[in-house]
């Protein structure tokens, strides 16, 4: 298996947010994590990415057989874990292309591959830009600086497309997107689906899952997964809402 | 030293006046407001030999910072070194004089300008420099000349096995509507102890435009005191960029006087200090006439137990209506022990002016750090990328590409040197 999360407990600023998450992701699978605000969905994604503000108090996470929690955020990234941020950070003065090239080469170096020069890098990038309908000019701007909400999310998916992770964590990628942008972003994700690549898609709304169709849906409530099912579960949630899910989970 | 007979009377007079001034005031102490945070007792307490005009590594030091395609003027221990200079690319419209020879042969303009841009009363160590007035370089740009070839002054300082003091001197006089780019690099042998006490005077004629780059890469044990003063005439443009990464103690005074209507100046700088270094920048902008603009941006990066002082004075005189002045000073502290004393000092006597100033001291943005790391950059790589971006706003202003490349390399080398990453 690619990812195995066992009894993961996470604290943020002295408050326990995740109270024992269990999740197994096989290569090629798409898992959707749904739940109301404050249920701990984003905390789950950020904890897996290694954000220093999220303190792991208990549990175990194995990624490709390795202890993920023992790795620094950059090691995780170079080893194929990618997080698309809910709020991509604006970094004035750092050129988007320059940064992405450094990130790609850091990963290639780790894999024992030659670093790409500017010309080869641009070849890689051009193809991805077209798929995501991203204008060249976005490359030459500072990372996320002055980007609209939609541009930021598209840029995240663009980074993902270039870095070709084995495990992609999408943290509320649909928030703030209009329907056209949502479609473009989803097409970008779908174009990357493959038997070797897995996705954990964190979302509040079912509508994203119309475009990125998951293999499994998990409902998070108060820091626990209270229900798991196939893609039909997302539709049920759309209809009935999150209310009562904790109780349903408790009965199971 | 030469006998007094060879020295023109006007040079002797200026020296003697400065010597009397320095004898009266001595080395500044922290009791003076302008030196409150900058203790230069280590300079006063060290015995420095008067420097010879040569030391063994001088030639290799000069060539180590060579900027291809430029006119190079080498100053070794305060003395113009014709043998290490390269005037082969000297274009029309520009005249170079070694100060010593120029003063003797009465080269036009030296007596008129040398020692007049800068008031020796304003700065004790500039008085010390002037009291030793002997050699250096003078650059005259003919009225109307557009000089595309960059002029690179390389000042190297040091002794063979002894601590020396040098007092280099530069004079630039740009005629009306002329245009030139000038860079001034300061270096010494790594690890060597010396005291470099430089004064540079710049006269910007009507409608003339000068880009001036100060590149301080002294030995990390050196004491670097430098004064740069510019007078800008009507519609003249003076753009100063200062880059500082060396020296144990740096005191940099830059003063720009806008003395004619419609003059414009930029005064930008970036400094990086780690270990126990002290980086003091004192800037002074004198808006003396109406309709002048000034833009000032200083950025500091401080690590270890480094200390920085930034004092930004802006005077807007009573006649200087419609002044537009902007000053920004930002610093990043990478450690808990690094400190900065930042002091904007606005003195505004005219009523119809626009003056803004802002100062910000902060740490690296941890969310940005995490974002870069989460894409695969190590913490050090992420930090360097952010620091480079922080400095970039100033480095981008360096319009001599070969110099810009050197500064970038020097910047990253300095970051790798011993700037510690905050835990």
- Tens of pLDDT, residues A43-88: 999 999 999 999 999 999 999 999 999 999 999 999 999 999 999 9
Q: What is the mean pLDDT of residues A151-169?
A: 95
Single out the residue of A150, A118, A120 nearest to residue A134, CA to CA. Answer: A150
Contact at CB, B370 and A51, closer than 8 angstroms = yes
Q: Would you say residue B32 lies in a domain? A: yes
Residue found under tokens 């407990």: A9
- Tens of pLDDT, residues B88-123: 999 999 999 888 888 877 777 899 999 888 888 889
Cβ-Cβ contacts under 8 Å, A74 against chain B: 373-374, 376-379, 382
Higher-confidence residue of A134 and A147: namely A147
A74 touches chain B (CB under 8 A): yes
Cβ-Cβ contacts under 8 Å, A169 against chain B: none
| Distance set, CA A7 to CA A20, A53, A224, B320 (Å) | 4, 19, 9, 71
Interface probe, candidates A93, A100, A147, chain B, greatest B C-beta count within 10 A: A93
Residue found under tokens 């490709």: A64
Domain ranges of chain A: 3-251
- Predicted pLDDT of residue B420: 56
Cβ-Cβ contacts under 8 Å, A88 against chain B: 371
- Predicted pLDDT of residue A121: 95
- Predicted pLDDT of residue B419: 56
- Tens of pLDDT, residues B297-319: 999 999 999 999 999 999 999 99
Chain A closest-CA separation from residue B382 CA (Å): 10
- Predicted pLDDT of residue A134: 84
Contact at CB, A89 and B367, closer than 8 angstroms = yes
Q: Does residue B217 sit in helix, strand or coil?
A: strand
Is residue A234 scored above 90 in pLDDT?
Answer: no
Q: Would you say residue B389 lies in a domain? A: no
CB B171 within 8 A of CB B113: yes
Cβ-Cβ contacts under 8 Å, B367 against chain A: 89
Cβ-Cβ contacts under 8 Å, A72 against chain B: 373, 378-379
Considering chain A, what is the average pLDDT of its residues? 92
Distance, CA of B184 to CA of B395 (rounded, Å): 15
Q: Which residues contact B361 (CB under 8 A, 6 or more apart)?
A: B330, B331, B332, B333, B340, B342
Contact at CB, A52 and B372, closer than 8 angstroms = no
The model's pTM is 0.92
- Predicted pLDDT of residue B339: 96
Q: Would you say residue B155 lies in a domain? A: yes
Mean pLDDT, consecutive 10-residue stretches, chain B (423 aa), reads: 68 94 94 93 92 90 96 96 95 91 81 87 92 93 96 95 94 97 97 96 98 97 97 98 97 97 98 95 97 98 95 96 96 95 95 94 96 96 95 94 95 78 45
Range of the structural domain that residue B189 is part of? 4-365
Confidence of residue A177 (pLDDT cuts 50, 70, 90): confident
Q: Would you say residue B408 lies in a domain? A: no
Residue found under tokens 């941006």: B297
Is residue A39 scored above 60 in pLDDT?
Answer: yes
CB A9 within 8 A of CB A16: yes
Distance, CA of B214 to CA of B241 (rounded, Å): 6
Cβ-Cβ contacts under 8 Å, B370 against chain A: 51-52, 73, 89
What ipTM did this prediction achieve? Answer: 0.95
Chain A closest-CA separation from residue B88 CA (Å): 36
User: In the numeric block, which tokens belong to residue B69?
Assistant: 């395609």
Q: Would you say residue B111 lies in a domain? A: yes
Please give the tally of structural domains in chain B: 1
Count CB pairs under 8 A between chains A and B.
Answer: 74
Q: Does residue B329 sit in helix, strand or coil?
A: strand
Q: Would you say residue B422 lies in a domain? A: no
- Tens of pLDDT, residues B171-213: 999 999 999 999 999 999 999 999 999 999 999 999 999 999 9
Backbone φ and ψ of A222, nearest 5°: 45, 45
Contact at CB, B377 and A49, closer than 8 angstroms = no
Q: How many helices, marked H, and strands, marked E, lie in chain B?
A: 9, 21
Q: Where are the beta strands (DSSP E) in B88-208?
A: 94-98, 137-141, 151-157, 164-166, 169-174, 179-188, 194-204
Domain A3-251 maps to which CATH number in 3.30.1280.10, 3.20.20.70, 3.40.50.300, 3.40.50.720? 3.40.50.300
Q: What count of Cα atoms within 13 Å lies in the side-chain half-sphere of residue B393? A: 21
Q: Would you say residue B150 lies in a domain? A: yes
Q: Does residue B43 sit in helix, strand or coil?
A: helix
Q: Does residue A233 sit in helix, strand or coil?
A: helix
Is residue A252 scored above 50 in pLDDT?
Answer: no
Q: Which residues contact B168 (CB under 8 A, 6 or more apart)?
A: B75, B77, B78, B136, B155, B157, B196, B197, B198, B199
Confidence of residue A37 (pLDDT cuts 50, 70, 90): confident
Chain B closest-CA separation from residue A98 CA (Å): 10
State the DSSP code for A113. Answer: P
- Predicted pLDDT of residue B418: 60
Query: Which residue of B lies nearest to A169 if distances are taken between CA atoms?
Result: B374
Q: Would you say residue B388 lies in a domain? A: no
Render the burial of B58-79: b for 16+ CB within 10 Å, e for the rest.
bbebbeebebeebbbbbbbbbb
Q: Which residues pair with B301 in a beta bridge?
A: B272, B332
Residue found under tokens 């009573």: B318
Cβ-Cβ contacts under 8 Å, A102 against chain B: 377, 381, 385
Is residue A251 scored above 70 in pLDDT?
Answer: no
Chain A closest-CA separation from residue B299 CA (Å): 14
A241 touches chain B (CB under 8 A): no
Chain B closest-CA separation from residue A107 CA (Å): 7
State the DSSP code for B7. Answer: S
Cβ-Cβ contacts under 8 Å, A110 against chain B: 376
* Nearest neighbour of A74 by CB, restricted to B373, B386, B388: B373
Distance, CA of B391 to CA of B394 (rounded, Å): 6
């Amino acid at each position: 298996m690619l990812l195995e999360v066992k009894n993961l407990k996470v604290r943020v600023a002295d408050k326990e947010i995740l109270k024992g998450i269990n999740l197994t992701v096989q290569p090629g699978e798409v898992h959707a994590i749904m739940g109301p605000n404050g249920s701990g969905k984003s905390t789950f994604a950020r904890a897996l990415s290694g954000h220093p503000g999220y303190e792991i108090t208990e549990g175990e996470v194995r990624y490709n057989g390795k202890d993920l929690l023992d790795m620094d955020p950059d090691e995780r990234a170079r080893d194929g874990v990618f997080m698309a941020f809910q709020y991509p950070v604006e970094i004035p003065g750092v050129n988007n292309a320059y940064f992405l090239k450094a990130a790609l080469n850091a990963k290639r170096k780790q894999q024992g591959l030659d670093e790409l020069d500017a010309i080869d890098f641009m070849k890689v990038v051009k193809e991805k830009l077209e798929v995501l309908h991203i204008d060249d000019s976005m490359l030459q701007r500072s990372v996320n600086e002055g980007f609209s909400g939609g541009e930021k999310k598209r840029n995240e998916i663009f980074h993902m497309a270039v870095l070709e992770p084995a495990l992609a964590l999408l943290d509320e990628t649909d928030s703030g997107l209009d329907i056209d942008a949502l479609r473009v972003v989803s097409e970008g994700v779908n174009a990357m689906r493959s038997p070797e690549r897995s996705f954990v898609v964190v979302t509040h709304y079912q509508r994203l899952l119309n475009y990125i169709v998951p293999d499994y849906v998990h409902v998070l409530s108060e820091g626990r997964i209270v229900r798991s099912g196939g893609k039909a579960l997302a539709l049920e949630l759309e209809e009935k809402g999150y209310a009562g899910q904790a109780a349903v989970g408790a009965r199971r | 030293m030469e006998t007094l007979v060879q020295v023109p009377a006007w040079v002797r007079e200026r020296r003697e006046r400065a010597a009397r001034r320095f004898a009266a005031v001595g080395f500044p102490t922290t009791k003076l407001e302008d030196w409150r945070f900058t203790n230069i007792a280590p300079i006063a307490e060290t015995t420095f030999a008067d420097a010879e005009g040569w030391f063994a590594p001088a030639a290799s030091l000069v060539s180590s910072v060579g900027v291809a395609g430029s006119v190079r003027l080498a100053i070794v221990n305060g003395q113009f070194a014709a043998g290490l200079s390269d005037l082969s690319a000297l274009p029309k419209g520009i005249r170079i004089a070694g100060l010593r020879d120029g003063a003797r042969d009465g080269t036009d303009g030296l007596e008129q300008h040398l020692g007049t841009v800068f008031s020796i009363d304003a700065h004790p160590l500039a008085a010390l420099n002037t009291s030793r007035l002997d050699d250096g370089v003078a650059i005259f740009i003919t009225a109307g000349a557009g000089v595309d070839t960059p002029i690179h002054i390389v000042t190297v300082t040091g002794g063979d096995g002894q601590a020396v003091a040098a007092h280099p001197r530069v004079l630039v006089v740009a005629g009306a509507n002329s245009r030139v780019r000038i860079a001034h690099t300061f270096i010494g042998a790594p690890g060597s102890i010396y005291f470099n006490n430089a004064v540079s005077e710049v006269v910007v004629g009507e409608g003339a435009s000068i880009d001036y780059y100060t590149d301080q890469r002294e030995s990390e044990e050196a004491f670097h005191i430098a004064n740069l003063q510019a007078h800008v005439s009507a519609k003249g443009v003076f753009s100063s960029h200062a880059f500082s990464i060396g020296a144990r103690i740096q005191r940099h005074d830059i003063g720009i006087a806008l003395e004619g209507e419609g003059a414009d100046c930029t005064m930008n700088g970036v400094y990086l200090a780690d270990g126990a270094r002290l980086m003091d920048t004192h800037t002074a902008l004198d808006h003396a006439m109406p309709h002048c603009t000034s833009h000032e941006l200083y950025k500091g990066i401080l690590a270890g137990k480094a200390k920085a002082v930034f004092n930004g004075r802006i005077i807007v005189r009573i006649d200087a209506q419609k002044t537009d002045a902007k000053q920004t000073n930002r610093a990043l502290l990478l450690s808990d022990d690094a400190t900065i004393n930042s002091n904007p000092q606005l003195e505004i006597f005219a009523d119809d002016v626009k003056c803004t100033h802002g100062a910000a001291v902060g740490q690296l943005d941890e969310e940005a750090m995490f974002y870069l790391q989460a894409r695969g950059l190590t913490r050090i790589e992420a930090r360097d990328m952010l620091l480079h971006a922080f400095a970039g706003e100033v480095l981008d202003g360096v319009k001599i590409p070969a110099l810009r490349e050197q500064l970038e390399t020097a910047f990253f080398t300095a970051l790798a040197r011993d700037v510690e990453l905050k835990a």
